[in-house]
């Protein structure tokens, strides 16, 4: 089954894209890079430019029906760009409406705040998002990875790149990407 990786044209933290991507592939799933524009996206290693990656499809050319779940990599700029794009926000919200699993790491929950899907949910993130998450009706916890099943879907969140192993393990376990799931 396919898994959508939603990123802005620039600003994604490269390792938060590539590690989960490889894990989904290794588990037998098909990762697909979705963005707000076609072409290539520019990844970053913190604030330094890193590699570029080809976009598979745009949010206007696909829908939740094509995917088993959604991964939202972080980076400071990436989720900030995404939350300013109404089509990207609607794409994210559609996964919650459909009851599909969503995973978000680092600053990625900013897009979830904008999609208004955090009321009554418990999650973690980069610590600077705590107030935003609370203001959006969520409960913030300081944990390496947190699985929330308090809503219509499973929400997997992690704080930072150092938490990637736990994040990736949760994504592979919770997403229906392997044979016999989904």
Q: If phi over 0 gives left and psi between -120 and 50 gives alpha, with beta otherwise, what is residue 46?
A: left
Cβ-based neighbour number of residue 135 at 10 Å:
10
Q: Read off φ and ψ for residue 151, nearest 5 degrees.
A: -130, -155
Q: Which of 46, 106, 146, 148 is catalytic?
A: 106
Q: H or E segment at 131?
A: helix 130-135
Contacts of 163 (CB under 8 A, 6+ apart): 105, 144, 145
Asked if 151 and 96 touch (Cβ cutoff 8 Å), the reply is: yes
What whole-number distance in Å separates Cα of residue 5 and Cα of residue 108? 12
Of 110, 126, 118, 122, nearest in space to 163 by CA: 126
Q: Could you give the 3-state DSSP secondary structure of residue 103? A: strand
106 is catalytic: yes
Catalytic site residues? Answer: 106-107
């Amino acid at each position: 089954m396919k898994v959508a990786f939603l990123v802005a044209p620039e600003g994604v933290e490269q390792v938060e894209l590539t590690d989960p991507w490889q894990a989904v592939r290794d588990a037998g799933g098909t990762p697909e890079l979705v963005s707000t524009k076609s072409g290539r996206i520019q990844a970053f290693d913190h604030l330094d430019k890193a590699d570029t990656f080809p976009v598979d499809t745009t949010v206007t050319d696909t829908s939740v029906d094509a995917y088993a779940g959604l991964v939202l990599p972080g980076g400071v700029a990436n989720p900030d760009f995404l939350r300013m794009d109404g089509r990207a926000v609607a794409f994210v919200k559609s996964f919650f409406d459909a009851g599909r699993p969503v995973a978000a790491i680092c600053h990625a929950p900013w897009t979830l705040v904008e999609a208004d899907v955090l009321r009554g949910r418990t999650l973690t993130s980069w610590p600077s998002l705590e107030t935003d998450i609370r203001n959006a009706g969520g409960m913030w916890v300081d944990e390496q990875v947190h699985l929330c099943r308090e809503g219509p879907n499973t929400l997997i969140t992690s704080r930072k790149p150092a938490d990637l192993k736990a994040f990736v393990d949760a994504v592979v376990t919770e997403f229906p990407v392997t044979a016999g799931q989904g």
